[in-house]
Structure 1
Amino acid sequence: MYRNHSFIGKFVAVCFGLVLTSALFTGHAAAENRKVVWNPEPEYPAIARRMNINGLVRMELVIAADGTIKSAKVLGGHPLLADAVQKALKKWKYAAGSADTTMQLDFKF
């Protein structure tokens, strides 16, 4: 009976080690510090202002090695505000890096 507990404990420890190692490996590209070269702020949409819509928009960006925004995914926020953020992000530029970088940014309206 005790043998099973010992085996399960070792199995769990090995699995945890593999998960931790893979998380550290995949996080390497995301940890690269990328300097913003050009980042115009999103315009507050007039209709959102009239309707008193405000809040936070959370985005997940994939920045290409050349510094351009490869993709921008909305993780949360009002659709009117998220559209304004996506339009602004099309103009953003980062310093070149060694590989694609993924990061999350919040925009407050």
Structure 2
Amino acid sequence: MRLRALGSWSAVTLFACLLTSLAFPSLSLAQEELNRKVRTRVAPAYPELARRINLRGTVKLLVVVLPNGNVKDTKVMGGNPILVNAAIDALKKWKFESSPDETSGTIEFKFEPTD
């Protein structure tokens, strides 16, 4: 019975990965990496579900940073939905150096399961 539940869980995970590839195709954008120094960097928490299924991946986010260095907005550019919220939550806590203007760019978070 437990093996049957595991098989069902694997099918759901495979389906979620397939949907991810359709929902977040590879993007070739003119957007560049954010060219502002990070003052406070918060690492994302590795989601428990991702840990249980040994999921690894990269989440790419577009971030808009206010002149005072706070994150104004984020937008998902790609990544597995299981990992996306952890990346967004972490990035919203980042602080950047001040700048005369609002800036934007991309940030990538790599998720690797650890033992």
Distance 2:51 2:76 in 1: 20
State the percentage of identical aligned residues: 41
Aligned residue for 2:73? 71
Q: Number of residues paired by the alignment?
A: 81
| Structure with greater Cα Rg | 1
| 2:79 maps to amino acid | G
| 1:101 maps to amino acid | T
Q: If each structure's helix is expressed as a fraction of its own residues, which one has the higher value?
A: 1
Unaligned runs of 5+ in 1: 1-26
Aligned residue for 2:92? 90
TM-score by length of 2: 0.65
Aligned residue for 2:108? 106
| 1:84 maps to amino acid | A
Per-residue deviation at 1:78? 0.7
Equivalent residue in structure 2 for 1:39, among 30, 38, 41: 41
Aligned residue for 1:61? 63
| Residues 52/70 of structure 1: CA separation in 2 closer, same or farther (3 Å cut) | same
Instruction: Please provide the CA RMSD for this pair.
Output: 1.9
Give SS of 2:44's match.
coil
Distance 1:105 1:32 in 2: 7
Distance 2:71 2:35 in 1: 15
Provide, for residues 61-108 of structure 1, a one-character-per-residue CA deviation record: whole Å limited to 9, x for no partner: 001111000111111001121100111112110011010111111111
Per-residue deviation at 1:33? 3.3
Distance 1:83 1:45 in 2: 9
Structure 1's consecutive aligned runs of 4 or more residues displaced over 2 angstroms after TM superposition are: 30-33
TM-score by length of 1: 0.68
| Residues 69/37 of structure 1: CA separation in 2 closer, same or farther (3 Å cut) | same
